[in-house]
Amino acid sequence: MYEYAIGLIRVLEKKILDQTDIARMASAENAEESFRVLNDTDYADNLLNLKPKEFEKALENDEKDLKKLLQKIIDNKCLLEFLFLKDDYLKLKLYLKSKFNKKLLPQKKPKVLIPKISNPTPRKIDEICDLALYKARWKIAKKMRDNFVKKLLKKDLDLNFNLEQIKEQARDYPCQTPVVLNYYFQKIDAARKVRVIMNAKLNNIKHEISNSWFSKFNIGV
């Protein structure tokens, strides 16, 4: 189904931040050394002229590159919409929070249906937007008629997808949707880990960073 895309993905995923890179970043003496580790990963092209404190810009540019790549090599518009819909609902959260809290900077209205919310709180806004995202993704999944995507949504109602489950499915179905999802969510997870480590380093927070430590942080995709 995605033969060309998957062939390219198999090459690109070898450069994704892995456990060795994470260990090197975590054990680095300071933020500068930690940041340099990224030069050995697929973030390298987005590090030019950036300082460690600007790591978020590198992550933002990398995510833009990821979207452009998938739009170029995947011709299934429903799958792309399924993946990228989270960005619209993140913008919706920011828009609603700024609307109900005048201390926050105004945000641009997103291109999704604006829900009605009574007695809004930040937590209530998050919950309502997450539910709206889930419903929108379910609608797309039914249109795709992809059993794996439906099964994924049924199991992960809180939107915190199980990466190990997706990786296993990617091995079992090497030319189908799970491979694309695996690559995309690996990239999102890598960015999350970079963010956690760099923030810790820049704020001189000492942690024993391990798999068990990272398990406390949900992906939220």
* 159 lies in some domain: yes
The per-residue pLDDT for 94 is 94
* 68 lies in some domain: yes
The per-residue pLDDT for 174 is 78
**pLDDT tens-digit map of 171-186:** 887 778 999 999 999 9
* 219 lies in some domain: no
Instruction: Give the rounded distance of the alpha carbon of 26 from its chain centre.
Output: 20
Provide the Cα torsion 13, 19, 25, 29; round to 10°: -160
The Cα–Cα gap between 120 and 170 comes to: 40
CA angle 24, 63, 157 (to 5 degrees): 95
Domain region containing 21: 3-214
* 67 lies in some domain: yes
pTM value? 0.85
Q: How confident is the model at residue 147 (pLDDT cuts 50, 70, 90)?
A: confident
* 220 lies in some domain: no
Residue type, 118: S
Provide the Cα torsion 47, 19, 212, 124; round to 10°: 40
Total domain count for the chain?
A: 1
* 111 lies in some domain: yes
The per-residue pLDDT for 160 is 64
What rounded mean pLDDT belongs to the chain?
Answer: 87
Residue 107 φ/ψ region, left for φ over 0, alpha for ψ in the -120 to 50 degree band, beta for the rest: beta
* 40 lies in some domain: yes
* 221 lies in some domain: no
